[in-house]
Amino acid sequence: MCAILAYEGEEVSEDYFKGLLERTASRGPDKSRTLKVKNGWLGFNRLAIMGLNCKGMQPFELNGNAVICNGELYGFTHLRDYLKSLGYSFNSDSDCEILLPLYEKLGTAMFSMLDAEFACVIYDGEKNKFIAARDPIGIRPLYYGYDNDKHIVFASEPKNLTGVCDRIEPFPPGHYYEDGKFICYRDLTKVKEVRTDNLETVIENIHDKLLLGIKKRLQADAPVGFLLSGGLDSSLVCGVAARLSDKPIETFAIGMDIDAIDLKYAREVADYIHSNHHEVIITKQDVIDAIEPVIHALGTYDITTVRASIGMYLLCKWIHENTDIKVVLTGEISDELFGYKYTDFAPSAEAFQEEAEKRIRELHMYDVLRADRCISVNSLEARVPFGDLDFVDYVMSIDPAKKLNTYGKGKFLLRKAFEKDEFIPRSILMREKAAFSDAVGHSLRDDIIEYAEATYTDAAFEAGKAKYSHATPFTKESLLFRDIFEKYYENQSHMVVDFWMPNKSWKGCDVNDPSARVLSNYGASGE
């Protein structure tokens, strides 16, 4: 990951700006640089992934324009060759160096052409203004706000903006900002045409598009590793990558010291794909000690996100401290596309599709946010193959009746698509999903709840939750998370729409805990 910061304000001092940029130094520990432009400042903290030498350092400048970008632009070599044919030359092997020539040729139309996970700010020297944009899913973070003088500020994380902006907002995915307006350039939740492909074709396309999405994300000039929970999604990513690699891949799993569910499954996958496998074991105290730093890193109070982040945060911390890995691939976004345990209760195909649209639209506040912060705060870069734009676009357009769980097995289309290759053991391919925080260890969730119960008396809980009118805490655990959140992000709860919960309007989903463990169809998922 890298960190970007852009501040519109000619009177902003260099020292003040550098202080704000320093708040996200962990995102880009390799080098930091600031650039004064006519209307303000651009700043960049670099984690070198592509083009590792100093020539790849941002901001890039060209003909009076400048750009900062936290991103990976897939297939950029083809665009660079095209731009070379037009007379442009390049000083580095960085993918982001192509952005300014593209902007010169295409303007804001360039954003819809990018096959990328990115957040960027361009300074247009001729027009003396900032233009900002974010990828259609929001895999790379971007926030904005206005200072007391109504100057806009863009940043990778809200921690850059606390104390500067009264109200901090997530930059809407799939939009660009220009002249005070946010303009949508791509909305992956809007299906132009429902695919009527037969089941065989659907399965083949899912297979081929995901395979390509994984292959793209293996390209890096820095060492790559893989988070392996032992569940379907991360196992598939690892299995495919292992088959494509000419040497054993590095896989990493985490579990509680007493009841980790998935360590044995991760080990089974690792043995099958012959990876160099690493296990990290954590204790109850590790979990309790991680709650506050995780909430500070994430900028959320959401129960599911915090629970699921603790294991990932501690695992990535171990990777950072014990290896030279710089890039990690993860299995996020599969659930939003193919269904959670609770979407088995969807009353119709239309309802399933509407729920998928909502989940994709809000991803940047939940699972994607979790993956980004847990990984970036430990100076690593996350890559998310299930978030490949072509793959997401296709799966969202599949007739939702085919995605409903009418097969007696969740995520049937995905499982069936990879049945023939035998990338992973069949027992893992067909294993039902376990909630990530539960898979790290059933006791993780229970330990947090127990700690929260001991933190507040009943009277203190009633008084505490009354302080918050938005996303009002409804358990002692949620109050604990919210109180810690407010310590770092006071009055910024609107950055997250609400608590991630199953669709309570569906029969079987009216529950008061987001864990899939409380659903009647959880079954053997956690065994």
Using one digit for the tens of pLDDT, what is the confidence trace for 33-79?
Answer: 999 999 999 999 998 777 667 888 999 999 999 999 999 999 899 99
* Identity of residue 41: W
CA dihedral (40, 44, 220, 120) positive or negative: negative
Which of these ranges, 149-158, 303-312, 398-407, 435-444, has the smallest mean pLDDT?
435-444
Question: From the candidates 2, 120, 316, 374, which is the catalytic residue?
Answer: 2
Query: In terms of CATH architecture, what is 199-526?
Result: 3-Layer(aba) Sandwich (3.40)
Mean pLDDT for all residues in the chain = 94
pLDDT at 439: 56
Give the residues across from 146 on adjacent strands: 152
Question: What is the β-pairing status of strands 152-155 and 3-8?
Answer: antiparallel
**Cβ neighbours around 246 below 10 Å, total:** 4
**Cβ neighbours around 475 below 10 Å, total:** 17
> Model confidence at 438, in pLDDT bands (50, 70, 90)?
low
CATH tag, 3-184: 3.60.20.10
> Model confidence at 484, in pLDDT bands (50, 70, 90)?
very high
2 is catalytic: yes
Using one digit for the tens of pLDDT, what is the confidence trace for 367-413?
Answer: 999 999 999 999 999 999 999 999 999 999 999 999 999 998 999 99
> Which helix (H) or strand (E) covers residue 32, if one does?
strand 31-37
Q: Where are the domains positioned within the chain?
A: 3-184, 199-526
CA dihedral (391, 392, 396, 400) positive or negative: positive
Q: Using CB atoms within 10 A of its CB, is residue 32 exposed (0-12), middle (13-18) or buried (19+)?
A: middle
Asked whether 217 and 242 are in contact (CB, 8 A), the reply is no
- The pLDDT of residue 315 is above 60: yes
CA dihedral (392, 139, 99, 218) positive or negative: negative
pLDDT at 525: 47
What's the rounded Cα separation, in Å, for the pair 90 and 50? 14
**pTM for the full predicted model:** 0.95
Using one digit for the tens of pLDDT, what is the confidence trace for 209-250?
Answer: 999 999 999 988 889 999 999 999 999 999 999 999 999 999
The pair phi, psi for residue 251, each rounded to 5°, is -115, 150
Which of the pair, 143 or 260, is modelled with greater confidence?
A: 143
Nearest to 56 by CA among 64, 67, 65: 67
